[in-house]
């Protein structure tokens, strides 16, 4: 009997450690750009030669950086997390290996963590277009000539992990929504030799007739938490840079963020259609959390007001997660406490609807001497982005 009691006690303690938040009145929801794509594993000049994702190989090798990502997730222990820049690859060679061999194994003495529910879907990054999108005189179908910048299909993919049931059959994706179908969308113009813009559109009518707005995808994935449904609105817009005076990426970033603004705004959502042809946006009384590396923030360039479309939306509660690690990293910047990336800006967001009660929020960015600091201090030990989280009351 003594052995049996000890065994039962062990099982209960292990379950409580690995599923701690289930025993509380809170749910932790997070976003994390994990930087698990070729650009983190291959020298920059070699990237144009990469034709398929190296992630399955790095997972099989037990790569140090991937172990660092798993350690951060085991430290923060979100109940639901969006991973940006996790390449879209075969589940059995990709996310299932990460779940079993990394999150399912103790990292640096931490308790494993289990996510029984997974959502993943195709993205536009690396998908070849037949056009010379960057107008350099050559249509390669790769890099800047892919529908979303990428050297191979699936680069910079997305995946949602959850301890709570994801209602995948009700999910809506907007991977194929055309940029030209957004009323009043931005139109990049060809610059003259003096840098001033001409009246010639950067993208021809033929290009725009096929050009998807989303550089990766836009997802609405409902999650069931008890008797409550929350819509996870996940995306990863293109960075507003790496272009020229035409500002084509800045304009696209603005309009990608605008898609979710309009999705949340009854009366502005009538033009939207998802990949199944269903029109319209989110119901006015629905609960939601916008998640992702939105590549927009103060001093981020692009088009002014891009991120404010969401931060100032009447249905959104921007609780401004912060950290002291960011302050230590950039003491010269007044807004450093809100930074979410090592290159000194706020670009990663967890934005709940105003009906959800937020009990706590933060950015995982330890200060020197705190557990996990080495993952911030050593280049290549984890990611150049930080995990951002909020706790909502059940």
Higher-confidence position of 1 and 144: 144
Q: Which of 13-22, 109-118, 210-219, 359-368 has the lowest mean pLDDT?
A: 13-22
Show the domains of the chain with their CATH numbers. 25-393 (3.60.10.10)
Mean pLDDT of 25-54: 96
Is residue 326 classed as helix, strand or coil in its secondary structure?
Answer: helix
Closest CA relative to residue 42, chosen from 151, 154, 184, 175: 151
* Band of pLDDT at residue 133, cut at 50, 70 and 90: very high
Mean pLDDT of 236-257: 97
Higher-confidence position of 274 and 20: 274
Cα separation, 102 vs 110, in Å, equals 11
Higher-confidence position of 195 and 375: 375
Cα separation, 34 vs 32, in Å, equals 6
* Helix, strand, coil content of the chain in percent (nearest 5): 25, 25, 50
* Band of pLDDT at residue 2, cut at 50, 70 and 90: low
Cα separation, 223 vs 363, in Å, equals 23
pLDDT at 302: 85
DSSP classification of residue 299: T
**Is residue 16's pLDDT more than 80?**
no
* Band of pLDDT at residue 311, cut at 50, 70 and 90: very high
Mean pLDDT of 197-213: 98
Burial of 130 (0-12, 13-18, 19+ CB in 10 A): exposed
**DSSP E strands: which ranges in the chain?**
26-36, 80-86, 117-120, 158-162, 172-173, 189-191, 197-201, 218-225, 228-235, 287-293, 348-352, 358-363, 388-393
Closest CA relative to residue 233, chosen from 313, 332, 350, 315: 350
Closest CA relative to residue 363, chosen from 329, 386, 341: 386
- 277 Cα distance to chain centroid: 24
* 112 close to 105: Cβ distance less than 8 angstroms: yes
Average pLDDT value over all residues in the chain: 94
pLDDT at 300: 75
Q: Which of 21-30, 153-162, 183-192 has the lowest mean pLDDT?
A: 21-30
What's the predicted TM-score (pTM) here?
A: 0.93
Higher-confidence position of 251 and 23: 251
Cα separation, 32 vs 364, in Å, equals 10
* Band of pLDDT at residue 195, cut at 50, 70 and 90: confident
Mean pLDDT of 356-384: 96
Closest CA relative to residue 265, chosen from 308, 224, 314, 206: 314
The tens digit of pLDDT for each residue in 122-131 reads 999 999 999 9
Q: How far is CA 40 from CA 44, 57, 154, 205, 287, in A?
A: 9, 13, 15, 36, 35
**Is residue 7's pLDDT more than 70?**
no
The tens digit of pLDDT for each residue in 266-309 reads 999 999 999 999 999 999 999 999 999 999 997 777 899 999 99
DSSP classification of residue 367: P
**Is residue 13's pLDDT more than 60?**
no
- Reduced 3-state DSSP string for 88-146: CCCCCCCHHHHHHHHHCCCCCCCCCCCCCEEEECCCCECCECCCCCCCCCCCCCCECCE
pLDDT at 5: 53
DSSP classification of residue 149: S
Mean pLDDT of 126-140: 97
Cα separation, 188 vs 203, in Å, equals 7
- Residue listed under structure tokens 């907007």: 174
The tens digit of pLDDT for each residue in 145-156 reads 999 999 999 999
């Amino acid at each position: 009997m003594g052995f049996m009691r000890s065994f039962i006690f062990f099982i209960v303690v292990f379950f409580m450690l690995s599923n701690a938040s289930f025993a509380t009145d809170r749910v932790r929801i997070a976003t994390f750009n994990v930087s698990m794509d070729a650009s983190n594993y291959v020298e920059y000049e070699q990237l144009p030669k990469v034709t398929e994702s190296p992630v399955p190989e790095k997972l099989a090798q037990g790569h140090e950086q991937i172990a660092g990502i798993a350690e951060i997730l085991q430290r923060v222990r979100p109940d639901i997390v969006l991973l940006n820049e996790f390449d879209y690859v075969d589940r059995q060679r990709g996310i299932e290996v990460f779940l079993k061999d990394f999150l399912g194994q103790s990292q640096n003495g931490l308790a494993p963590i289990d996510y029984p529910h997974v959502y993943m879907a195709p993205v536009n990054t690396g998908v070849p277009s037949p056009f010379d999108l960057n107008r350099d005189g050559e249509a390669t179908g790769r890099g800047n000539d892919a529908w979303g910048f990428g050297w191979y299909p699936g680069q910079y993919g997305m995946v949602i992990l959850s301890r709570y049931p994801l209602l995948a059959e009700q999910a809506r994706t907007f991977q194929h929504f055309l940029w030209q179908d957004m009323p009043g969308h931005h139109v990049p113009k060809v610059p003259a030799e003096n840098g001033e813009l001409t009246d010639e559109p950067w993208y021809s009518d033929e290009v725009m007739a096929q050009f998807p707005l989303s550089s990766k995808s836009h997802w609405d994935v409902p999650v069931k938490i008890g008797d409550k449904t929350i819509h996870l609105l996940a995306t990863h817009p293109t960075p507003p840079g790496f272009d020229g005076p035409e500002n084509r990426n800045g304009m696209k970033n603005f309009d990608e963020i605008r898609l979710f603004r309009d999705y949340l705004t009854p009366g502005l959502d009538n033009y939207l259609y998802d990949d199944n042809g269903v029109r319209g946006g989110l119901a006015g009384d629905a609960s939601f959390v916008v998640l992702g590396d939105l590549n927009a923030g103060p001093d981020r360039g692009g088009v002014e007001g891009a991120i404010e479309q969401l931060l100032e939306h009447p249905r959104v509660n921007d609780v401004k997660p912060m950290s002291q690690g960011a302050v230590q990293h950039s003491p010269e910047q007044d807004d450093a406490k809100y930074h979410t990336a090592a290159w000194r800006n706020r670009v990663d967001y967890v934005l709940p609807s105003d009906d959800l009660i937020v009990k706590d929020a933060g950015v995982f960015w330890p200060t020197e001497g705190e557990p996990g600091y080495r993952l911030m201090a050593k280049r290549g030990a984890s990611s150049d982005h930080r995990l951002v989280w909020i706790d909502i009351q059940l």
